[in-house]
Amino acid sequence: MTDPTHPLFGRRFPLLSVFAPLHSPGHVLVAYREQLVLSIPLLATNLSPSRSTYPTKLTSPAVTELISLAEQYGVLSCPTDLTTSGNACHHSSKRKSSRTLPRFSRR
Protein backbone atom coordinates (compact mmCIF):
# COMPACT_ATOMS: atom_id res chain seq x y z
CA MET A 1 0.00 0.00 0.00
CA THR A 2 1.60 3.24 -1.14
CA ASP A 3 -1.21 5.75 -0.58
CA PRO A 4 -0.57 7.50 2.76
CA THR A 5 -4.30 8.26 3.12
CA HIS A 6 -5.31 4.58 2.93
CA PRO A 7 -5.85 2.87 6.31
CA LEU A 8 -3.56 -0.02 5.28
CA PHE A 9 -0.71 2.26 4.16
CA GLY A 10 2.69 0.59 4.37
CA ARG A 11 1.31 -2.96 4.57
CA ARG A 12 2.15 -5.65 2.03
CA PHE A 13 -0.26 -8.34 0.85
CA PRO A 14 -0.06 -11.30 -1.54
CA LEU A 15 -1.58 -10.22 -4.87
CA LEU A 16 -4.40 -12.39 -6.21
CA SER A 17 -5.54 -10.40 -9.26
CA VAL A 18 -5.64 -6.96 -10.87
CA PHE A 19 -8.67 -5.36 -12.51
CA ALA A 20 -7.69 -2.31 -14.56
CA PRO A 21 -10.49 -1.29 -16.96
CA LEU A 22 -9.70 1.45 -19.50
CA HIS A 23 -12.21 4.00 -18.22
CA SER A 24 -12.15 3.52 -14.46
CA PRO A 25 -9.48 3.47 -11.77
CA GLY A 26 -9.56 -0.30 -11.19
CA HIS A 27 -8.76 -2.36 -8.12
CA VAL A 28 -6.67 -5.27 -6.90
CA LEU A 29 -7.67 -8.32 -4.94
CA VAL A 30 -5.22 -9.30 -2.20
CA ALA A 31 -5.10 -12.14 0.32
CA TYR A 32 -5.60 -11.03 3.93
CA ARG A 33 -5.09 -13.30 6.94
CA GLU A 34 -6.35 -16.87 6.59
CA GLN A 35 -9.16 -16.87 4.03
CA LEU A 36 -10.14 -13.25 3.51
CA VAL A 37 -9.83 -11.34 0.24
CA LEU A 38 -9.63 -7.54 0.18
CA SER A 39 -10.50 -5.33 -2.76
CA ILE A 40 -8.17 -2.30 -2.78
CA PRO A 41 -8.24 0.66 -5.20
CA LEU A 42 -5.47 0.30 -7.75
CA LEU A 43 -4.46 3.93 -7.14
CA ALA A 44 -3.59 3.07 -3.51
CA THR A 45 -0.94 0.59 -4.67
CA ASN A 46 2.38 0.74 -6.47
CA LEU A 47 0.76 -1.07 -9.43
CA SER A 48 -1.03 2.00 -10.79
CA PRO A 49 0.54 4.21 -13.44
CA SER A 50 2.38 7.12 -11.88
CA ARG A 51 0.26 10.20 -11.39
CA SER A 52 1.54 13.57 -12.49
CA THR A 53 2.62 15.65 -9.52
CA TYR A 54 2.14 18.84 -11.54
CA PRO A 55 -1.38 18.90 -12.97
CA THR A 56 -1.83 21.36 -15.81
CA LYS A 57 -4.73 23.61 -16.57
CA LEU A 58 -5.45 24.87 -20.06
CA THR A 59 -6.33 28.54 -19.75
CA SER A 60 -7.89 30.89 -22.28
CA PRO A 61 -4.71 32.99 -22.62
CA ALA A 62 -2.68 29.82 -23.21
CA VAL A 63 -5.04 28.70 -25.99
CA THR A 64 -4.93 32.17 -27.57
CA GLU A 65 -1.13 32.15 -27.48
CA LEU A 66 -1.00 28.64 -28.98
CA ILE A 67 -3.31 29.64 -31.85
CA SER A 68 -1.29 32.79 -32.50
CA LEU A 69 1.96 30.78 -32.66
CA ALA A 70 0.37 28.19 -34.94
CA GLU A 71 -0.84 30.94 -37.30
CA GLN A 72 2.57 32.63 -37.19
CA TYR A 73 4.33 29.43 -38.29
CA GLY A 74 1.64 28.40 -40.79
CA VAL A 75 0.61 25.29 -38.91
CA LEU A 76 -3.14 25.92 -39.16
CA SER A 77 -4.66 24.68 -42.41
CA CYS A 78 -8.20 25.84 -41.68
CA PRO A 79 -9.51 29.36 -41.14
CA THR A 80 -9.82 30.36 -37.49
CA ASP A 81 -12.89 32.57 -38.04
CA LEU A 82 -15.30 31.11 -35.50
CA THR A 83 -18.31 32.95 -36.93
CA THR A 84 -18.56 30.47 -39.81
CA SER A 85 -18.71 26.72 -39.82
CA GLY A 86 -19.35 23.95 -42.25
CA ASN A 87 -17.48 23.44 -45.49
CA ALA A 88 -14.54 25.78 -44.76
CA CYS A 89 -12.21 22.85 -44.05
CA HIS A 90 -13.94 20.19 -46.10
CA HIS A 91 -11.51 18.31 -48.31
CA SER A 92 -13.29 16.18 -50.86
CA SER A 93 -11.89 12.94 -52.15
CA LYS A 94 -11.56 12.42 -55.89
CA ARG A 95 -12.66 8.79 -55.53
CA LYS A 96 -16.33 8.07 -54.84
CA SER A 97 -17.32 5.49 -52.24
CA SER A 98 -18.96 2.33 -53.51
CA ARG A 99 -22.60 1.99 -52.57
CA THR A 100 -22.39 -1.72 -51.72
CA LEU A 101 -19.86 -3.69 -49.78
CA PRO A 102 -17.92 -6.39 -51.64
CA ARG A 103 -19.06 -9.97 -51.04
CA PHE A 104 -16.67 -12.26 -49.25
CA SER A 105 -16.69 -16.00 -49.79
CA ARG A 106 -17.38 -18.07 -46.71
CA ARG A 107 -15.97 -21.56 -46.42
Domain layout of the chain by residue ranges: 1-49
* pLDDT tens, position by position, 26-68: 899 999 988 899 999 988 888 876 655 545 567 888 888 888 8
Q: What is the pTM of this model?
A: 0.44
User: Helix/strand/coil (H, E, C) string of 19-67?
Assistant: ECCCCCCCEEEEEECCCEEEEEEHHHCCCCCCCCCCCCCCCHHHHHHHH
Contact (Cβ atoms closer than 8 angstroms) between residue 26 and residue 19: yes
Q: How far apart are CA 40 and CA 27, in angstroms?
A: 5
The larger pLDDT score, comparing residue 24 to residue 105, is at 24
Predicted local distance difference test score (pLDDT) of residue 28: 93
Q: How far apart are CA 66 and CA 80, in angstroms?
A: 12
